[in-house]
Amino acid sequence: MNDVKNMNSNSILSIENLSFSYDEARVLNNICFNVEEGNFISVLGPNGSGKTTLINMISGVLKDYQGKIIIKGRDAKDLPSREVAKLVAVVPQYTDPGFNFSVGEIVTMGRYPYLSRFEGEKKEDLDVVREVMEKTEVAEFYDKKFNELSGGEKQRVIIAQALVQDTPILLLDEPTAHLDINFQIEVMDLFFKLNAIDGKTIVGVFHDINLAIQYSKKAMLLKEGKIFSFGDIADTINRENIKRVFNSDIYVGKNPFTGKLYVSPLFTSLYDIDETSKKENREVKVHVIGGGGAASPILNLLYSYGYPVSCGVVNTLDTDLSTAETLGIPYVSEAPFSPISFYSQNKNLEFIKSSDVVILPDVEFGHGNFSNLVSVKEALGFDKKVVVVNARDIEKRDHTGGKASKLYEKIITKGAVVVESMDRIIKTVK
């Protein structure tokens, strides 16, 4: 087994000229970077930029790659899968175990790298399981069935399963994507402590830029399978980089309480629309369903074209709310850590009733914001034109046990117009 000599002395992970293709499609193209021990790195980029593919290669899920992945000075291709599992653990965004195991059984499964094929858990394994379950606050669920837990509780169990592998490196694949804001912060606080106190090296893929940069030390921007920028947050997260990677103009500010950067969409001259067209568009009122930043680019688009726009229901910590405030767009908000109330839902319906068109972006749906989807169905009953953006991946965004997918299908069946990209929104609204 060969050790690699050209790593930086303090690097725990080194990626050298890494490339990967699915069939003929190149997903990652000759990327190189080092991760210092104890770092917390956020990997950011638009869909299809190669973020999850990178995580899958480092963890050993994808093996047919070109280049080298060096973990603690050892080439990953020279390591048996059990050895890789002692060095790297993965926290995915959602895991369905297939069978209704108990929480204790699922967490204990994370000890598999340390057990021979027919060997049972030893006392030291059970001690690790107990300690980790207490740290992740799931010990009280030990005998409870996994499927009986809430979304946030399930994610903490999945984190516990990864932690009992007792690895120096933790890989995160959008671990907060389907969680309500209170669980997002709870989970990110846990990762922060694992990094700051326990010394875990963390490389995480995130969808929400603001959430990522509040907790990480460095950021990597991926674009079309290449590293566009990689470095400290202050050097990487800036207006020009985000504009070129995400094709979205932003404002970069500093949180007055934490001193950390935050981003908010900035809308100036992305769309060159003549005044005559804007005047015509002011006759059509559009309401956009918000959530998780999914509405922001659509609000930008419609606002730039001169449409009167409203937005709802969005959490008070949501990027969509910041976007609406920046543009002076009226919105319906809900308190953080809370499901949508009847009051907020009724206010949302008032906006819908006064609109001509309702747009449903590719929002993540959980039980907390499910009533937003119900309001879209109500819009059809009010004879409003409903436009659904990117309906194909609703199963990935449905965290309600299938309820959202079924309602999506009803909304489309009852006459909603489906568009696959933002380019078609303006034509459809007209």
Domain boundaries, the chain: 11-87+167-263, 275-429
Q: Span 275-429: which CATH code?
A: 3.40.50.720
Angle at 179 (CA atoms; ends 175, 52), nearest 5 degrees: 25
Q: Hey, is 357 helix, strand or coil?
A: strand
Spatial separation of the C-alpha atoms in residues 319 and 210, rounded to whole Å = 8
Q: Is residue 256's pLDDT more than 80?
A: no
Structure confidence by residue, pLDDT tens digits, 16-41: 999 999 888 899 999 999 999 999 99
Give the phi and the psi of residue 133 in degrees, each rounded to 5.
-65, -35
Residues 6 or more apart whose CB falls under 8 angstroms from that of 19 comprise: 26, 28, 29, 30, 31, 65, 66, 67
- pTM (two decimals): 0.64
Spatial separation of the C-alpha atoms in residues 34 and 193, rounded to whole Å = 22
CATH class of 11-87+167-263: alpha beta
List the structure tokens of 353: 């009733």
Predicted local confidence at residue 98, as pLDDT: 67
Pairing of β 88-91 and β 169-173: parallel
Spatial separation of the C-alpha atoms in residues 408 and 380, rounded to whole Å = 12
- Over range 353-374, report the average pLDDT: 92
Query: Three-state secondary structure along 61-97?
Result: CCCCCEEEEEECCEEHHHCCHHHHHCCEEEECCCCCC
* Counts of helices then strands in the chain (DSSP H, E): 17, 18
Predicted local confidence at residue 9, as pLDDT: 59
Closest CA to 245 of 233, 236, 258, 253: 236
Crossing angle for the helix pair 181-196 and 151-163, to the nearest 10 degrees: 20
- Over range 73-87, report the average pLDDT: 93
- Establish whether the linkage from the previous residue to 313 is cis, with ω within 30° of 0: yes
CB contact burial 113-133 (16+ within 10 A = b; e otherwise): bbeeeeeeeeeebeebbeebb
Give the phi and the psi of residue 258 in degrees, each rounded to 5.
-100, -20
Q: What is the DSSP letter of 122?
A: P
By percentage, how much of the chain surpasses pLDDT 70?
A: 94
Q: What is the DSSP letter of 217?
A: S
Predicted local confidence at residue 266, as pLDDT: 61
List the structure tokens of 77: 């291709």
Name residue, tokens 């959980």: 366
Lowest mean pLDDT among 126-140, 319-333, 347-361: 319-333
For residue 407, give Cα distances in angstroms to 253, 314, 360, 416, 421.
38, 20, 13, 12, 21
- Over range 133-143, report the average pLDDT: 94
Terminal-to-terminal C-alpha distance of the chain? 64
- CATH topology agreement for domains 11-87+167-263 and 275-429: yes
Residues 6 or more apart whose CB falls under 8 angstroms from that of 406 comprise: none
Q: What share of residues in the chain are helix, strand, coil (percent, to 5)? A: 40, 25, 35
Structure confidence by residue, pLDDT tens digits, 176-197: 877 777 888 888 999 999 999 9
What is the pLDDT confidence band of residue 95, given thresholds at 50, 70 and 90? low
Q: Is residue 6's pLDDT more than 50?
A: no
- Over range 69-75, report the average pLDDT: 95
Predicted local confidence at residue 324, as pLDDT: 87
Spatial separation of the C-alpha atoms in residues 92 and 302, rounded to whole Å = 34
